[in-house]
Amino acid sequence: MILVVGGAGYIGSQVVKQLNEAGFVTITYDNLKKGQREAVIASKFILGDIRDTSRLSKLFKENQVEAVMHFAADSLVGESMENPLAYFENNVAGTINLLKTMINFGVKRFIFSSTAAVYGEPQQIPIMETDPTVPTNPYGESKLMIERILARCDEAYGLKYISLRYFNAAGADESGQIGEAHHPETHLIPLILQVALGQREAIKVFGTDYPTPDGTCIRDYIHVVDLAEAHILALKALIAGKTSTVYNLGNGNGHSVKEVIEAAGRITGRKIPVIEARRRRGDPAVLVTGSTKAIQELGWKPRLADLETIIATAWQWHRNPSW
């Protein structure tokens, strides 16, 4: 039985679906603060928070948990700059609580949702796993703290973990059943599509004076289905006895904010008015990785890597969302 903590969120629910398709039995544990109950397909569901020790202990007592995948976290850079304590409480204290419970029950396999934000301003592009980690915001810092805690837990308790450092997850399941819908929405591609649908008047471009060819930030967008697939491979690797490690997950293709808006205009055939706005605090100019390590060691093969496919699947979902 695989415990998916935060499995009702955008990425967690996609992983639950693919775990199920790969033949794993899952339990989803989520406080539904940001997640959607309807997003959890074919999994036992338990409502709960990672800070609730007694509920977690009960869950571990009643179920034979083989491994834990941990998606439950606050994940907005801007919000973390304004309220760092909330981020450290949920992302760090909450995860410590989850890890303590796992160790108490002898569960020693852990897949962790980490982020490109652990690197801060990159020293080189593409970013490699061995590059310095100097986060520029509390969100990235909270994830890096957990990575360090995980390394100590391996030394002390033999916990085996794989930390997956996501670049920009985007797109939606090809079935159209689940997709990205945050309330409130802050992410670039869903916001652009809301503009295309006439639900918003314009998309704000946060900063046009970055040291990039068109002055806007460059990001490495990765399809959520490919991202989920990397989790399944990481889980299988841990089960097969792989030692603890970290992987970057992206496609190696950087796209600027302006390029994403133009591509969305082409794909949707709709007008997307743009407002040039100030930079958002905590945003590095360029975040791109090659994922060579995940490709070589996990045998990961991204299938839906190009920006057109990412936006087209997101568009299919946004035109007809399930919630």
Token readout for 312 is 């087209």
217 belongs to the binding site for ligand UDP (CB under 6 A): yes
Which residue's CB is nearer to ligand UDP, number 107 or number 188?
A: 188
* Min separation Cβ 323 and ligand UDP, Å: 20
Which residue's CB is nearer to ligand UDP, number 49 or number 141?
A: 141
168 belongs to the binding site for ligand UDP (CB under 6 A): yes
Nearest one of 234, 238, 264 to 249, comparing CA atoms: 234
Nearest one of 182, 179, 94, 184 to 145, comparing CA atoms: 94
Q: Which one of the spans 26-34, 106-114, 118-126, 199-207 is the region binding ligand UDP (CB under 6 A)?
A: 199-207
Residue from 119, 139, 166, 210 carrying the catalytic annotation? 139
Q: Is residue 247 annotated as part of the catalytic site, yes or no?
A: no
Name residues contacting ligand UDP, limited to 174-193 (CB under 6 A).
186-188, 191
Helix (H, G, I), strand (E, B) or coil at 138: helix
280 belongs to the binding site for ligand UDP (CB under 6 A): yes
Element (H, E) at 151: helix 138-157
Name residues contacting ligand UDP, limited to 26-85 (CB under 6 A).
77
Listed in order, strand segments (DSSP E) in the chain are 2-5, 26-30, 44-47, 67-70, 109-115, 160-166, 168-170, 203-206, 218-223, 245-249, 254-256, 274-277, 286-287
Q: Which of 68, 205, 286, 314 binds ligand UDP (CB under 6 A)?
A: 205
Rounded CA gap, 97 and 286, in Å?
34
Helix (H, G, I), strand (E, B) or coil at 255: strand
Which residue's CB is nearer to ligand UDP, number 2 or number 257?
A: 257
Which residue's CB is nearer to ligand UDP, number 100 or number 182?
A: 182
Q: What angle do CA 289, 192, 197 make, to 5 degrees?
A: 145
Q: Which residues are catalytic?
A: 139
Q: Residue numbers of the site for ligand UDP (CB under 6 A)? A: 77, 168, 186-188, 191, 203-206, 217, 219, 257, 280, 283
